[in-house]
Amino acid sequence: MKKYKIIIIYITLATIFPLTACTASLLKNWGKIEPNAAVTNAFEKFQINEDFNYYISGSDVYPTSILALNKSYSLLDEDLWKKIDMTPEIFRTLVTNMQMRLLQCCFETQQGYIIYDDRGKQIGIWYSMIAASIGVKMKDDAKVIIYPPREDIYLKYEGKVNGNGNDFSP
C-alpha cells in the first residue's frame, strides 16, 4: 500500500511541475493593475500629472476609461487608445461625463488603479468603472501593449448586449 502512495505522489508531482512551468511562461511579461484610493482621488480632483501621457478608450464624450502612462514608456499599439493633449478643462469634462454615464446606466462609480509592469514597477494609472478590465503586456525597450476595456461595457450594463457580449439584443 505504501508503494502505491509513493507512485501516486510521483505521478502527481510529474503532472504539477510541467503545468506550473507552462503557467509561468504564459504569464511572462504580463503586468498587473491594483485598485488605489489615491489614484481615484486624483482623478476625481482632476489632477493632471505632467509625467504622464493621457489616453482614452471608447467614446470621445463618454470614455470607458482614461489611461495615464509614464512618459518613459510608449504604447506599442496606439490604435487601441486615443491620445489626448490633456488640459484641466478636458480632464474635468471627461471624468465628469464618465461619472454621469455610469451613474445613469449602472448606479456605480469609477475606480482608480495603479498599473505595474511585469517586475512590479509602477508605469501608469488608469480610471474606469470597477467591472472594466485591461491587460498589460510588456515588450522590449519600455514598450507596452495595454488592452483597453470592451467598448460595449456600458451597453452590457444597460442590458443592450446579449449574453455573449458580441452583439445587440433585438
Domain boundaries, the chain: 30-158
Q: Provide the pLDDT confidence category of residue 3 given band limits of 50, 70 and 90.
A: low
Full-model pTM: 0.75
> What pLDDT score does 43 carry?
97
Which range among 10-14, 18-22, 30-34, 78-82 shows the weakest confidence by mean pLDDT?
18-22
> What pLDDT score does 163 carry?
47
Integer CA distances (angstroms), 35 to 9, 43, 107, 131, in order: 40, 13, 19, 12
Phi, psi of 20 (to 5 degrees): -65, -45
Enter the C-alpha cell of residue 40: 481615484
Residue 92 has pLDDT above 90, yes or no: yes
Residue 128 has pLDDT above 90, yes or no: yes
Tell me what percent of the residues of the chain surpass a pLDDT of 90.
52
> What pLDDT score does 160 carry?
52
Integer CA distances (angstroms), 30 to 26, 76, 95, 119, 162, in order: 9, 14, 28, 9, 30
